[in-house]
C-alpha cells in the first residue's frame, strides 16, 4: 500500500511510521509528505529520505501551496491508498474527505471524545487534562471527517496522569504511546485488518 502523510511540525509520528515501514513492520511505503509548513521538521526529514514534499493548502501566506483539487490529483499520481495525519493542524477540506472515504486517519493526544476539537492541540491538550484532574490520558487514532477530532475511533492507549506531572512530562508519555499505536493501526490498515461492527464502529482484527 502507499501512504501519504500530513504534518505541520516535528513529525515524530511520521518518523515512527516511516521507520516501521522501513523495518517491514508496516506493509506500506510512505510515498509522499504533505505539509502546510515548508520548513518544519517533518518536511526536512522527508527531504532527507528522498520522499517528495507537497505544500498544502494554498493561502495568502503560501501562494505556492496546492488547491484541494490539485492535491487530490497529485495524490492520485502517487497512487496513494491512505492519508495519515500526524500533527497536521489544518482542517481537511470536504473534497479530500470525500475523495478518500474511510481512508484518512488522524492521531490525537487525548482519549477522545474528551479534550478534542478546535483549540485542543499541542500542549493545550495536556494542560487541560492535568487541570481537569483526570487520572488517565493517552492517544486516540480515529478516521477523519470534516470536523476536528470527531471521526470514528479506531484505537486508543491509556497512560497514567501522575500527581506532579507537568504538561511536558505527560506529553512525552503520551507521545511514546502515539508512536506505538499509530504504527500498529497503520500496519492493520495496510493488511486489511480493519473490520466494521454492525453499528458502524471500526475494529482491528488481530493477526491470525
Instruction: Give contact residues for ligand GRF (rule: CB under 6 A).
Output: 7, 9-13, 86-87, 107-109, 139, 175, 178
Q: How far apart are CA 198 and CA 90, in angstroms?
A: 32
Q: How far apart are CA 101 and CA 75, in angstroms?
A: 14
Q: Write down the least CB distance from residue 9 to ligand GRF, Å.
A: 4
Q: Is 27 a catalytic residue?
A: no
Q: Write down the least CB distance from residue 143 to ligand GRF, Å.
A: 15
- Nearer of residues 5 and 54 to ligand GRF, judged by Cβ: 5
Q: Write down the least CB distance from residue 38 to ligand GRF, Å.
A: 15
Kindly calculate the radius of gyration of the chain based on its CA atoms and give it in whole angstroms.
17
Q: How far apart are CA 143 and CA 149, in angstroms?
A: 9
- Nearer of residues 70 and 169 to ligand GRF, judged by Cβ: 169
- Nearer of residues 9 and 28 to ligand GRF, judged by Cβ: 9
- The CA distances from residue 93 to 10, 33, 44, 62, 126, in Å, are 23, 17, 25, 17, 27
Q: Where are the beta strands (DSSP E) in the chain?
A: 2-7, 29-35, 53-55, 82-85, 104-108, 136-137, 140-143, 153-156, 159-160, 194-196, 202-204
Interior angle at CA 185, CA 22 and CA 182, nearest 5: 70
- Nearer of residues 75 and 105 to ligand GRF, judged by Cβ: 105
- Nearer of residues 58 and 176 to ligand GRF, judged by Cβ: 176
- The CA distances from residue 85 to 50, 101, 104, in Å, are 20, 14, 7
| Nearest alpha-carbon partner for 143 in 69, 203, 74 | 203
Q: Write down the least CB distance from residue 73 to ligand GRF, Å.
A: 26
Q: Write down the least CB distance from residue 175 to ligand GRF, Å.
A: 6
Candidates 108, 126, 142, 179; catalytic one: 108
Instruction: Return the active site residues.
Output: 108
Amino acid at each position: 500500500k502507499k501512504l501519504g502523510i500530513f504534518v505541520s511540525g516535528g513529525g515524530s509520528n511520521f518518523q515512527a511510521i516511516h521507520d516501521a515501514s522501513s523495518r517491514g513492520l508496516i506493509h506500506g511505503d510512505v510515498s509522499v509528505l504533505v505539509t502546510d509548513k515548508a520548513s518544519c521538521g517533518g518536511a526536512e526529514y522527508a527531504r532527507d529520505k528522498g520522499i517528495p514534499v507537497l505544500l498544502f493548502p494554498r493561502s495568502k501566506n503560501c501562494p505556492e501551496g496546492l488547491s484541494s483539487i490539485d492535491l487530490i490529483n497529485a495524490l492520485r499520481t502517487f497512487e496513494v491508498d491512505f492519508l495519515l495525519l500526524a500533527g497536521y493542524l489544518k482542517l481537511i477540506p470536504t473534497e479530500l474527505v470525500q475523495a478518500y472515504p474511510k481512508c484518512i486517519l488522524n492521531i490525537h493526544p487525548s482519549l477522545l471524545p474528551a479534550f478534542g476539537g478546535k483549540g485542543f492541540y499541542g500542549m493545550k491538550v495536556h494542560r487541560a487534562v492535568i487541570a481537569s484532574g483526570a487520572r488517565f490520558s493517552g492517544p486516540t487514532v480515529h478516521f477523519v471527517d470534516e470536523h476536528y477530532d470527531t471521526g470514528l475511533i479506531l484505537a486508543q492507549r491509556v497512560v497514567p496522569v501522575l500527581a506532579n506531572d507537568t504538561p511536558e512530562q505527560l506529553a512525552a508519555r503520551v507521545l511514546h504511546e502515539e508512536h506505538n499505536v499509530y504504527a500498529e493501526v497503520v500496519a492493520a490498515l495496510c493488511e486489511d485488518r480493519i473490520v466494521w461492527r454492525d453499528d458502524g464502529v471500526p475494529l482491528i482484527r488481530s493477526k491470525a
